[in-house]
Structure 1
Amino acid sequence: MKFQNLKRLKTQECDENNGDFLQTKDIVAAFENLLPVVHRTPLNESATFNEMAGTRLYFKMENLQRTGSFKIRGALNKITNLTGDARKNGVIAASAGNHAQGVAFSATKQGLKAKIYMPEKTPLAKVLATKAYGAEVVLTGESFQEAYEAAVLDQQITGATFIHPFDDYEVMAGQGTIALEMIQQCADLDTVVIPVGGGGLIAGMACLLKNYDPKIRVIGVQSEGAPAAYNRFKGMGNSRLEHVSGIADGILVKETGQLTFPLISKYVDDVVTVSDEDIATAIIYMLEREKMFVEGAGAAAFAAVLSGKAGVSGKHVGIVVSGGNADLDKISHFKRLATAGKKKHRVVSL
């Protein structure tokens, strides 16, 4: 029955949202568009983690994706669909790191110039990788928001095409291809846990998942230091933050997207937050037990499961490991945070 649902996705549409909408057929088209370039990342199980969590966990390893994160999916889908004048002056973007690499790689592959604005505290590894993929990098501001505002001003002067990291339907469609792969790899998923920054990843994935099977629970995870989507989803606190902080730099966004949030509101079942200690614990577990060094944003969904904050009780739980571009110099800091926070967890000690 579920695979019949999958076949229908080519022609099925999400409901209209404020006059705009994301179509599941666009996610399927993006999947076909990306096939020659992106990796079909594995959906891994771990007997150790299954025992710790008391349920079956399936890790979607986007840390093994080209450029080290899922972001290449949305960036490449957007850039390969550009035509005519949209290509003439190259592309410009703002990013905390992973989108930058995805845009740089995709633009170079398409023969386009790319200029990327990144926060001043972006990990050096992400800056160097972005330059290595062929982009010009400008470091500015405390967070993504300041880098974004600088990039928008530059775009207005140069006429380059802006590639938004999340608030764009073609970008969301590219990110939604992760969900399509996951249900092909495990047709019995009943819960999927997804990290949330601006919301492009969860919007695209939730649209696909809920149209595939409305009974699948979709849970978003934010950092306690950047809970804009959490606040807006729960109807509490500020939905536009003055400051953000934490070790999950990939999801430290001050404001949720205007296009992403209607999809989040419609299709996501819950949004939770995790602390830096929670995230660090997940990073260290992944490193020690699975020999995978993932970044803070990439560990956030697993952190929500480990800490019990996601409240998963399903038999087949998908966890999106969104990226692996971690800073090696911070391993000792992550270890200290994990040690300080391990007593909070209902799992075996480190």
Structure 2
Amino acid sequence: MPQTRLDTARIRAARQVIDPAFLDTPLYRCEALEPALGCAVSIKLETANPVRSFKARGTEIVASLLADHGPQAVVCASAGNLGQALAWSGRRRGLDVTVVASRHATAAKLDRIRALDARLELVDGDHETARKRAAAIARRDGIRLLEDSLDIQTCEGAATIGLELADSTTPFDTVLIALGGGALATGVGHVMKDLAPETEVICVQPLGAPAMTHSWHQRRVVTTDSARTIADGVAGRYPIPAVLDDLLLVADDALLVQETSIIAGMRKLHDHAGLIVEPSAALGIAAILENRDRFAERHVVTIVCGSNVNIDDYHRWIATAPTHTS
């Protein structure tokens, strides 16, 4: 097993801390998608929970540790899903939660953070600006800074998805994972390499936000000046070195996909799986659409990682997507 920062025993123990509402999410073969994609496709559905994304698997661990041993206040930067998850986990345990986000973040995500009683601070600029502000608040107030992907709990929480995939009675060849900061990819990837090493681990990122993918291919941190994608949940520009080190050990490939393919993937999931998803959750389908020959005759699992989306934006996007199945 490659020596990442993660530990499979800790990941197994994490299942005892995480609220069962976020565990054992549906995993099923979606035959209705297969004619359009040319391969066997299974969906791991991480949207059927109270925060509609996988992020609470990690924030449940963080909040539990803080409630038992740490400061009773925590701050994070978020594009929306992490903040919502931390607000949910923190409110349940009586923690004081502050979330810093770009004022341009998805409004539906910001509304849910407010509804969960977190303090929300909006900044001009993008997610990297929010990260700097969150760090400044933590230093000023002496509170816990939760850094997605760098904090091992976010990775090991996400890794519990890998345990559920590895325990599946249905074998599959490839798992497609949305790649942003890297918590989901390194977490699931670690477990696959440990418990199901024959499974190919492929990360997928938008062409307009390619920093981590370029870093993986060049085996060094590569930053970008901007991120231009509708997939706001994976639009980072500054990969974290320690996370990249883990990703290099557990990922077999990293692919970039176009915005038109992401939108087409959202439409496919709507039309053939009955799922309304945010753009990041459609990255796996987008990868299949752009690489049909590579995945033909294979059984592919895609992790549908979130469904927090402004409905007006969603309808506008999928209205531009082709409706044919080839």
TM-score, L = length of structure 2: 0.94
- Gapped regions of structure 2 (runs ≥ 5): none
Q: For 2:23 and 2:2, how far apart are their aligned partners in 1?
A: 30
* Counterparts in 2 of 1:232 and 1:34: CA distance versus 1, 3 Å: same
Q: For 1:237 and 1:332, how far apart are their aligned partners in 2?
A: 38
Is residue 208 of structure 2 the alignment partner of residue 216 of structure 1?
A: no
**Matched residue SS, 2:201:** strand
1:336 to partner: Cα distance: 4.8
Query: 8 Å contact 1:189–1:216 — kept in the other structure?
Result: yes
Is residue 186 of structure 2 the alignment partner of residue 203 of structure 1?
A: yes
1:75 pairs, out of 36, 56, 59, with 59
1:39 to partner: Cα distance: 4.0
Query: 8 Å contact 2:2–2:249 — kept in the other structure?
Result: no
Is residue 149 of structure 2 the alignment partner of residue 162 of structure 1?
A: no
1:173 to partner: Cα distance: 0.4
Return 213-222 or 310-319, whichever deviates more: 310-319
1:128-173 per-residue CA deviation (whole Å, 9 max, x = no partner) reads 1011111011111332111000000011001111111221111100
1:241 to partner: Cα distance: 1.3
1:308 to partner: Cα distance: 1.6
2:248 pairs, out of 265, 270, 286, with 265
* Counterparts in 2 of 1:52 and 1:335: CA distance versus 1, 3 Å: closer
1:85 to partner: Cα distance: 6.3
Matches within 5 A, 1:203-282: 203-235=186-218, 239-282=222-265
Return 24-33 or 127-136, whichever deviates more: 24-33
Partner residue in 2 for 1:283: 266
- Gapped regions of structure 1 (runs ≥ 5): 1-13
2:3 pairs, out of 11, 16, 30, with 16
* Counterparts in 2 of 1:185 and 1:214: CA distance versus 1, 3 Å: closer
Q: For 1:83 and 1:15, how far apart are their aligned partners in 2?
A: 32
* Counterparts in 2 of 1:42 and 1:307: CA distance versus 1, 3 Å: same
* AA of the residue aligned to 1:212: L
1:192-246 per-residue CA deviation (whole Å, 9 max, x = no partner) reads 0000001011001100011012211000000111101111111199711111011
* AA of the residue aligned to 1:44: Y
Query: 8 Å contact 1:282–1:302 — kept in the other structure?
Result: yes
Q: For 1:309 and 1:55, how far apart are their aligned partners in 2?
A: 8
Matches within 5 A, 1:150-189: 150-189=133-172
Partner residue in 1 for 2:325: 348
Is residue 40 of structure 2 the alignment partner of residue 53 of structure 1?
A: no
1:314 to partner: Cα distance: 5.7
Partner residue in 1 for 2:11: 27
Q: For 2:235 and 2:188, how far apart are their aligned partners in 1?
A: 20
Query: 8 Å contact 2:38–2:292 — kept in the other structure?
Result: no
Q: For 1:219 and 1:169, how far apart are their aligned partners in 2?
A: 21
* AA of the residue aligned to 2:263: A
CA RMSD of aligned residues (A): 2.0
Is residue 47 of structure 2 the alignment partner of residue 63 of structure 1?
A: yes
1:86 pairs, out of 44, 51, 70, with 70
Partner residue in 2 for 1:149: 132
TM-score, L = length of structure 1: 0.88
Q: For 2:2 and 2:215, how far apart are their aligned partners in 1?
A: 21
1:254 to partner: Cα distance: 0.7
Query: 8 Å contact 1:86–1:160 — kept in the other structure?
Result: no
1:124 to partner: Cα distance: 0.9
Query: 8 Å contact 2:266–2:278 — kept in the other structure?
Result: yes
After TM superposition, the runs of 4+ consecutive aligned structure 1 residues lying more than 3 A away are 14-17
* AA of the residue aligned to 2:59: A
Matches within 5 A, 1:301-316: 301-308=284-291, 311-313=294-296, 315-316=298-299
Structure with greater contact order relative to length (CA < 8 Å, sep ≥ 6): 2
Query: 8 Å contact 2:227–2:237 — kept in the other structure?
Result: yes
Query: 8 Å contact 1:115–1:137 — kept in the other structure?
Result: yes
* Counterparts in 2 of 1:50 and 1:27: CA distance versus 1, 3 Å: same
Q: For 1:232 and 1:112, how far apart are their aligned partners in 2?
A: 36
Query: 8 Å contact 2:201–2:252 — kept in the other structure?
Result: yes
1:328 pairs, out of 302, 306, 311, with 311
Q: For 1:323 and 1:271, how far apart are their aligned partners in 2?
A: 20
Number of paired residues?
326
1:191 to partner: Cα distance: 0.7
Q: For 1:222 and 1:317, how far apart are their aligned partners in 2?
A: 17
1:278 to partner: Cα distance: 0.5
